[in-house]
Structure 1
């Protein structure tokens, strides 16, 4: 009997991905024998370094997004995240039920000016071309890397004698934070000179509304059925709980946390800024003035239609994506996507995670699948070896209400049994 992907050992999964062409032999060797980061890399990434931590990297294989096969790497410590996303993509025909509706990659920065003259806004409007030229001079390679300063606009400030400049940049394949801040800090003094005011701050905003991606799912209701509920019933219940997240912030924040389980895990695996990704998503969820779910679901005839809309400020070059060997390997495993493709993949992962979570909530409940995967974590906590984790987890699942004390007891019994059989052999 052929094993399923999740039943394979890490080495067997690596070998299969090599056979399928998603990994080279050298890349598989990297994942199987990762070395600690050298001190030069550690001290280049952070301060007061005393060591480093490691996280598991799981993959969701066999996904097709916008017609391109992808193996998706996810860095997370939570056992149920990878399994849930895998289940979500299965309900979505491995991603074939997804359509990319909108995708943009840009960011905006703010220059805040105080104590400006009464004619400051008019003076700035007359100097926008000069300010844009100063911005390009601060980053002369921007255009050659596929980026540009899209616009500079004048807006109201936070007081009667203040105003702000909003600078919007498309940063090419980079996330763009450093590019943006370089441009802002060059333009700010010139803007202050024009207005006769003083610069209060010049920095990017992490609200992310210029990097919004929208992905839509349309899957047959039959894909949702369980032994106890029809696909239509499940679909209607998913639509109802998603609508609840549009009206109740308590539900919405948990709804969105489930989405970000997947988005942040992909961002972390690829060396992107998870804090920026999370900040942008939650700000966007509240952009209407009420915090809402980032996805919606509704039943249309025999189809469940879901839409996710969120900013995903990521990059495929620069920063930790270039410095961390694991980030480079993760991007290679993904097939070296462009930044827009990476955003689409991340949004698709978020929608798959969301679908799986809602499906679990309206059918068996969240704990059944979640706890089944937590039993392996409990086995590790009490000292089980790699060979002991699966049998011990199975016994813990059968126990119904496992505890650490019970896990230790069952592990001792398992080892005593193994020792007895060893002596007999």
Structure 2
């Protein structure tokens, strides 16, 4: 155990952190030390900025930052910045954008922007008395207590929109929560929401202790567990849609009508079958996460919310829908998205600033629309591949370079093998076989 436990790691220099890590966990691997050091940025100010994004940093972890062009969204052209390590995601989104470009593009609608926070507590006194006290007295006190915190947000048209007491004693003995609804305008609003909730928690404690309406035992029965925002925001929701006449679905390998029917069947399967719905929604999030990361937003919060929303009926189902009616093919995604364009990394990370500039400096509502479109486009591309040529043909072609890089192929070998597999289905086994043959022959 000696050397494996360290005190004051955060106070060590970056070099000392790496030396300790390499010595104790990589058997003094000089290669690992070299790799960790080579990802430092030459720009010292920029490196300092990156170091301050998180704790105990020793290096940087790079991901590709790509562009999916040709998106027509509500009559405006966009190029979508996407950060992802998965092959074919950016290409698939771009292909879907091009497919719908001459069919009217994507249309969107923001259905709500409400975000939520909760104060969770237990109370075992008189339920009716507490409810009346909350409604007629405490609620007003909570609003007044947060007036200073919400002042700037209110000046921008946002703030607290409602405060409601929820009785959950049927689920858990004595359990209640106060649900606070917020409009945080162009910010994601996590810090703002949590600051309001913590101030309200303080007031709840103080007012209960000072109240003459409750006996000592009732006051003592109030136990506040926590106050925190919720990442489930079902009323901060956006819809993205594409539609065209069935005859316009030009996919070459089958008739437009057959394509439309098979496409709807694929969506219906994801609606009723959890195994398929999980992979179906993962594909949607391939597109959504890539734009969320590129714009400095919290993809973990977006993911957790999306999957909770997919389970809102009590059964996990696909997030997209499709209908064919009167010879019109209609395909849409409705999803909650809590996003911000101010605060957090949006003003700090240079590539985040570049992403938002490329997206025409959107408001949070506009960004909700763009992100939803990225998910819909990705899902369309995936379903189209699955019901026509199969997913592997396109995916493995994009993956070919990854395999060749793993094998240590030279540029000339990459060119030769890329040409060889130009009209063939790519598999890892076949690439390795052809690579080894090429090496033997040379």
User: Could you tell me how far apart the structure 2 residues matched to 1:399 and 1:295 are?
Assistant: 32
Task: Specify which of 126, 147, 153 is matched with residue 164 of structure 2.
Answer: 153
User: Which residue, out of 77, 89, 96, partners 1:88?
Assistant: 96
SS of the residue 2:152 aligns to: coil
Partner of 1:168: 181
- How far 1:215 sits from its partner (Å)? 1.7
Structure-1 separation of matches of 2:299 and 2:203: 33
Residues 142 and 171 in structure 1, CA contact (< 8 A), matched pair in contact too:
yes
Alignment correspondent of 2:190 = 177
Unaligned runs of at least 5 residues, structure 1? 1-32, 417-425
Q: How does 1:10-159 map to 2 (within 5 A)?
A: 38-93=46-101, 96-118=104-126, 119-126=129-136, 127-157=138-168, 158-159=171-172
Quote the offset at 1:58 in angstroms.
1.4
Give the deviation of 1:146 after TM superposition.
Answer: 3.7
Matches within 5 A, 1:154-303: 154-157=165-168, 158-195=171-208, 196=219, 197-303=222-328
On the 8 A contact 1:138/1:186 being kept in 2, the answer is no
TM-score by length of 2: 0.81
Q: CA RMSD in A?
A: 2.3
Which SS does the other structure have where 1:239 is aligned? helix
Deviation string for 1:305-353 (max 9, x for gaps)?
0121111111111112222111011111111111100000111111111
Asked whether the 8 Å contact 2:74–2:105 carries over to 1, the reply is no
The separation in 1 between residues aligned to 2:355 and 2:232, in whole angstroms, is 26
Report what 1:30 is aligned to: none
The question of whether the paired residues in 2 share the 8 Å contact of 1:208 and 1:281 is answered with: no
Residue 94 of structure 1 deviates from its aligned partner by: 6.3
Residue 103 of structure 1 deviates from its aligned partner by 3.3
Deviation at 1:413, TM superposition (A): 7.5
Q: Which moved more, 1:121-130 or 1:276-285?
A: 121-130
Q: Does 1:405 align with 2:415?
A: no
Greater Cα radius of gyration, structure 1 or 2: 2
- For residues 167 and 228 of structure 1, the distance between their equivalents in structure 2, rounded to whole angstroms, comes to 53
Task: After superposition, give the CA deviation of every residue in 1:99-141 in whole Å (9 maximum; x if it has no partner).
Answer: 2233322310010121353122221111212211222323432
Q: How high is the TM-score relative to the length of structure 1? A: 0.84
Partners of 1:34 and 1:280 lie apart in 2 by: 38
Cα distance change on mapping 1:387 and 1:265 into 2, 3 Å? farther
- In 1, the alpha carbon distance for the partners of 2:88 and 2:279 equals 15
- Structure 1 position 368, deviation (Å): 1.0
Q: How many residues align?
A: 383
